[in-house]
Chain A
Amino acid sequence: MKLGTRLRRIWRIARWEVSLGSLGLDRRTVAAGVLLVALAGAIATAGVVGGLDGLSPSQDIYRVGISADSPYYDVVESHAALAPYPPAVDRLERGEIDLLVESRGIGGATIAAGGSGTVGLGGGGPSVSVAHTPTEKGAAALTAFRAAVQRYNDRTMALEPNETAAYPVSVQLQYRSQESLVPGAVDANRSAGGTDAGDDEPGSTDGSDGEESNGSGNGESDDADEGDGDPSTVDVTDGTDRERVDRAAGDDSILGDVFGGGGTEGSPAEISPPFPFSSLVLAFVFLVPMNFVIQAYGGTILNERINRRGELLLVAPIERLDIVAGKTLPYLVAAIVAITGISLGVGGGLVSVAAVLPIALAFLSSTFVGAMFARSFKELTFVTVTVSVFLTSYVFVPAIFTNVTPIALISPLTLVVMELQGEAVGLGAYFFSTSSFYLGSAILFLLGVGVYREEDMFTQKPVPLKFLDAVDARLRGRKSVAVAAALTIPFVFVAELLAIAVLFVMPIELSVPLILVVIAAIEEVAKSIHIYAGIERDRFDRSIRTALVLGGLSGLGFFVGEKFTAIAQLVGLPDLVLGQATLTPAGVTPASTLALLFAPLVLHTATAAISALGARRNWRWYLAAMAVATAVHAAYNVGVVSLYG
């Protein structure tokens, strides 16, 4: 069929899908829903962009009696938790205020402001006495007042034009990733001024940098000015914009409290690595509309399956793939529109849109497959929630470590965070982050289209059996087993990177052996599940010879596909210890290259054959055989790492 005809039909289906409102929602309901979501998104975005300054769980919780002409009045007024009230001792006694700040003490705690203590307005300010009610709240109010004075002093110091006078000793922080960065980031780093030379220790001071920092000090002050003196955002720079760090809004921020901030001032013990809080929250906003889109999308797919409603489309002169494409197109467009809108709203650019697009595809493709497997709307709800939780976790959690480790690049959302932080994103990084999403989405759509047919759409089977049907539908002859094994690589890649991301925080002595076993198990499943499906669905006979042939072909296909993990080498992930252990064993000599090239081929064919031998019996034997195959595979992994690691 001509491409133009197919595209025309896809467009017709898409147009019909939009006009139909397959979920039975009338246009006013949809419009109201969209409006509500947009409103919520706008409020959330405004809150994040504004630094959430206006939000505090302890807003005006402590009443402070203080005179308007007191030098501490501004301290109280600027602190969210403190509210100024007319000062009067009797009001304190009646409990109408929690603190009383006066120039003369009347009992209670006395703070020597401006002296050698830790609290004061600096510059030899006046002494005050502070009294609080003899309650726990009064004591807490006093603590809050101390903190407020401290912060007020810090802000005042930050505004001081003469930086040397304000900070006699200045330590310049320079945050750098644990290991070498991805090519794009490395390029960006190098183009930022060549700070690598002679500066191997993360966080070390560098006189020249310090000079550069001083040179840009006014810029920081300018930032502070723009923020009305509230240092909610602090730039810690090495003379470029490379290391822009968004800090949580301190005590006043709900989310800052939750995430722990990422302090860049105070004693060394109080300083933590940069946490891209604002950028991360803004990046998260991209994921919100996905959840609405997949609900509607999953519903319309399942709606076709309920009561055989979609049967008439199947008998129309239109390809299954075109039906699915037509039904998917409106939801993809909706996702793209939402992504673009959000990107414009949060100050992102083309990188953000391009980075979130594969995430949207992953949401849609996973939901499509889930909706093709689900037997009811109840099951579909479970599927969409699972998809949402898994994908949100997969893309969001690694992005938290954007400024810490290149592992964060397993998530395309990291690219969004990078762009929002003003970092350059190279093509290599984009390819690394998104390729598995693109490939995985394509494969999931093909898997779902395979069962988008009369024989599978309208039958009611448990999800695992539907999955086997879908896998089996993609098999033809024995050679297709090799192709199927190769096509699992994107999912294997995602699963393995996820395992690395989850396990890398553990001690290396524990995480390396653990991940070697986990990876072995992931690969053995990938190499054998389609064999089991084919045998279970009587596509292949159950003879030992067939099982061995299928195992060999699957191992070969997987071996070929596995070479795509060279992608990881392109972007430097193997530079990490875990990356070395899992992807490229260190110490490989040219002499052993050939052996290492073909040893995995032998391994994959042998272990896949073991699993296939179990699959020819029944599922219990299959699981047992796969466990054996995993053990063999893990032993191989440990051996290679021991030899060359």
Chain B
Amino acid sequence: MIRVSGLRKTYGDFAAVVDSSFSVEAGEIFGIVGPNGAGKTTTLKMLSGLIEPTAGTAEVAGFDAADPAMRHRLGFLPEESPLYEDMTPRSYLTFFADLYDVPRSTADERIAETLDRLELEYRDRRIGDMSKGMKRKVAIARSLINDPDVLIYDEPASGLDPLTTNSVLEFTRELRADDKTVLFSAHNLYHVESVCDRVIIMNEGRIIARGSVEEIREAYGETTYHVFTDVDLPESEPADGDRHRMEVDTMDAVEDLQDAAAAAGGRVVDIRTDEPSLEELFLDLTGRQMAGPRTAAATDPEASAGDSPSTPDDTEAATEGPR
């Protein structure tokens, strides 16, 4: 549904996107992850026809991204989508339905249905009087007004409260059931991990990793094995009860510990695996931290030395820092 080949965008000497190539299949939710300035938004805008690529090709729903006809098949949600605040959601959506040549009766039905799904009740209230979450829902509804095959969402849950965020993410998941293809970018890696089938990680305009989250984890992440024995081995540390704990990185090392425990008259009583989150992989790959003091706290060496991976709440907090 989306084919990108050698996509490149430069501004003078600055390369915003460098030879980016990827494809998204129909019905797939595809994530783009990367720090500020990685080239995510520029990529999405080139795909939506807003920005002309310096080189390369981008094809969306069978059309060149620059072809205005493509826009009939596309729903685009920019990161910041300020609405016309003097309009009501109904009049706003009706106006865009007109622009997309959606018949009025169809538009009315679609507006009602979409706003129902998004649980937006105030359809005739002035948009300027609505909360940020409500406005975002209106913007999402607008992206669906032409019943597009492809949806490009740039940070759809950015700046929303957790409740609205979950609602938006759930709605995005439901789009898969509607056979929509969604290209999804987010700062909040938990959002990407929880919604996307596949992801690419971008840094400084380049794609540095790609695949499903599991594939990336397998390819780039290091699984830590926490091995518990009932005998004290060299380099082990006391755990709960009479148990002793050691951390190793490979299954071979685990087997070595099993042998060592047997030689000492004991045995391995438990093995736990600790797989890295997408965020940890991302930080490891990009070699940089996401901006903001809370992010720094979340990835603090001491904090990351703990046993549990970042929780959704941790990640949510991390992305609330200054960007």
B and A form one assembly: yes
Q: Which residues of chain A have a CB within 8 Å of any CB of chain B?
A: 1, 5, 9, 12-13, 16, 19-22, 24, 306-309, 311-319, 453-455, 538
Asked if residues A12 and B12 are in contact (CB atoms below 8 Å), the reply is no
Asked if residues A454 and B45 are in contact (CB atoms below 8 Å), the reply is yes
| Nearest chain B residue, comparing its CB with the CB of A19 | B91
| Nearest chain B residue, comparing its CB with the CB of A319 | B68
Q: Which 4 A-B pairs have the closest CB atoms?
A: A317-B71, A454-B50, A307-B82, A315-B76
User: Complex: how many Å from CA A212 to CA B246?
Assistant: 124
Q: List 5 A-B contacts (CB under 8 A).
A: A13-B99, A311-B50, A311-B81, A316-B99, A317-B100
User: Complex: how many Å from CA A22 to CA B84?
Assistant: 8
Counting chain A CB atoms within 10 Å of each CB, the highest count among B71, B81, B91, B98 belongs to B98
Residues of B within 8 A of A13 (CB): 99
Q: Which residues of chain B have a CB within 8 Å of any CB of chain A?
A: 12, 45, 48-52, 68-69, 71-72, 74, 76, 78, 80-87, 91, 95-96, 98-101, 142
Counting chain B CB atoms within 10 Å of each CB, the highest count among A5, A20, A21, A313 belongs to A20
How far is the CB of A37 from the nearest CB of chain B, in Å? 23
Residues of A within 8 A of B72 (CB): 317
- Inter-chain residue pair count (beta carbon < 8 A): 65
How far is the CB of B94 from the nearest CB of chain A, in Å? 10
Asked if residues A312 and B49 are in contact (CB atoms below 8 Å), the reply is no
Answer whether A12 and B45 are a contact pair too, CB < 8 Å, given A312-B78, A315-B74, A455-B51: no
| Nearest chain B residue, comparing its CB with the CB of A23 | B86
User: Complex: how many Å from CA A19 to CA B82?
Assistant: 18
Asked if residues A12 and B99 are in contact (CB atoms below 8 Å), the reply is yes
Asked if residues A16 and B100 are in contact (CB atoms below 8 Å), the reply is no
User: Complex: how many Å from CA A454 to CA B42?
Assistant: 11
Residues of B within 8 A of A318 (CB): 68, 99
Query: A306-B82, A455-B51 known; 12 other A-B pairs, CB under 8 Å?
Result: A9-B99, A12-B95, A24-B85, A309-B83, A312-B76, A312-B142, A315-B49, A316-B99, A317-B99, A317-B100, A454-B50, A538-B12
| Nearest chain A residue, comparing its CB with the CB of B152 | A315
User: Complex: how many Å from CA A9 to CA B68?
Assistant: 14
User: Complex: how many Å from CA A9 to CA B50?
Assistant: 19
User: Complex: how many Å from CA A112 to CA B225?
Assistant: 128
User: Complex: how many Å from CA A9 to CA B85?
Assistant: 22
User: Complex: how many Å from CA A313 to CA B81?
Assistant: 11
Residues of B within 8 A of A311 (CB): 50, 78, 81
Residues of A within 8 A of B91 (CB): 19
Asked if residues B71 and A24 are in contact (CB atoms below 8 Å), the reply is no
Residues of A within 8 A of B51 (CB): 454-455
Asked if residues A317 and B68 are in contact (CB atoms below 8 Å), the reply is yes
Asked if residues A1 and B68 are in contact (CB atoms below 8 Å), the reply is yes
| Nearest chain A residue, comparing its CB with the CB of B13 | A538
Asked if residues B81 and A312 are in contact (CB atoms below 8 Å), the reply is yes
Residues of B within 8 A of A19 (CB): 91
Asked if residues A309 and B50 are in contact (CB atoms below 8 Å), the reply is no
Residues of B within 8 A of A454 (CB): 45, 50-51
| Nearest chain B residue, comparing its CB with the CB of A308 | B80
How far is the CB of A461 from the nearest CB of chain B, in Å? 12
User: Complex: how many Å from CA A24 to CA B128?
Assistant: 11
User: Complex: how many Å from CA A9 to CA B100?
Assistant: 9
| Nearest chain B residue, comparing its CB with the CB of A314 | B50
Asked if residues A20 and B82 are in contact (CB atoms below 8 Å), the reply is no
Answer whether A315 and B84 are a contact pair too, CB < 8 Å, given A1-B68, A308-B78: no
Residues of A within 8 A of B86 (CB): 20-21, 24
| Nearest chain A residue, comparing its CB with the CB of B95 | A16
**The one of A1, A12, A312 that contacts B98, using a Cβ cutoff of 8 Å:** A12
User: Complex: how many Å from CA A314 to CA B45?
Assistant: 11
User: Complex: how many Å from CA A288 to CA B114?
Assistant: 48
User: Complex: how many Å from CA A86 to CA B82?
Assistant: 74
User: Complex: how many Å from CA A312 to CA B141?
Assistant: 13
How far is the CB of A73 from the nearest CB of chain B, in Å? 64
Residues of B within 8 A of A316 (CB): 71, 96, 99-100
Residues of B within 8 A of A309 (CB): 82-84
**The one of B85, B87, B96 that contacts A312, using a Cβ cutoff of 8 Å:** B96
How far is the CB of B7 from the nearest CB of chain A, in Å? 15
User: Complex: how many Å from CA A306 to CA B49?
Assistant: 20
**The one of A16, A24, A308, A319 that contacts B82, using a Cβ cutoff of 8 Å:** A308
Residues of B within 8 A of A9 (CB): 99
Residues of B within 8 A of A12 (CB): 95, 98-99
User: Complex: how many Å from CA A455 to CA B12?
Assistant: 13
User: Complex: how many Å from CA A520 to CA B12?
Assistant: 33
User: Complex: how many Å from CA A19 to CA B45?
Assistant: 29
How far is the CB of A149 from the nearest CB of chain B, in Å? 65
Asked if residues A317 and B69 are in contact (CB atoms below 8 Å), the reply is yes
Residues of B within 8 A of A308 (CB): 78, 80-82
Residues of B within 8 A of A21 (CB): 86
How far is the CB of B78 from the nearest CB of chain A, in Å? 5
| Nearest chain A residue, comparing its CB with the CB of B12 | A538
